[in-house]
């Protein structure tokens, strides 16, 4: 499963998309995100399953692909 990683450095900053991880389950995805994107002491780090992203700019059911996000 693919997960998109969103973070902010300090409270009040915009939440930014910084990358993605691939993992078989949520718990491992969290572990990978923490260890892979450890360059900041993030105030917020959240994951969104890529399959849960809802496209707005075209047909509703179309999948969002990894390459579109970076």
Partner 1 sequence: MSASDVRVTSADVDSLEGVSEFERRLVKQIDEHVEDPHIPVSIVEMGMVYDVFEENGAVTVEMTYPCMGCPAYQMIQDDVEDCLLDLDGVESVSIDVVWDPVWSKDRLDEDVQEKLMASGTAI
Partner 2 sequence: MSDDWSPEAVDFVQSLADTKLMLSHWYADQAFLGPNMGDNIALFSMTQDEYGQVRQFYLQLDRQGRDEDWLRSERDTGNFYNAATTDGPAADWTEFEVKFGLTDRAALLLLDAIDHEDFTGLTDKMAEEEYSHTDFHDGWLEQLAAANPAAFQAALEDSLDDVLAFIGPAAYDEDTDPLYASGFTDRSVAELRDAFLDYLAGIVEGTDVDVPDTTEVPLESWNEERRRVAAGSIEPDVLETIRGSKNTEFAAE
Binding site for partner 2 (CB under 8 A): 21-25, 27-28, 30-32, 34-36
Determine, following the binding rule CB under 8 A, whether residue 52 of this chain makes contact with partner 1. Answer: no
CB 8, min distance to partner 1, A:
13
Single out the residue of 10, 61, 59, 34 nearest to residue 19, CA to CA. 34
Helix and strand counts by DSSP (H, E) for the chain = 1, 3
- Give the separation between CA 51 and CA 6, rounded to whole angstroms: 15
From the list partner 1, partner 2, none, partner contacted by residue 41 (C-beta under 5 to 8 A by kind)? partner 1
From the list partner 1, partner 2, none, partner contacted by residue 21 (C-beta under 5 to 8 A by kind)? partner 2
């Amino acid at each position: 499963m693919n997960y998109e990683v969103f973070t902010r450095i300090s409270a009040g900053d915009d939440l930014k998309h910084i990358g993605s991880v691939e993992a078989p389950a949520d718990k491992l995805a969290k572990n990978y995100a923490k260890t892979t994107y450890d360059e900041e002491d993030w105030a917020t780090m959240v994951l969104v399953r890529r399959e849960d992203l809802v496209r707005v700019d075209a047909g509703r059911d179309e999948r969002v692909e990894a390459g579109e996000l970076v």
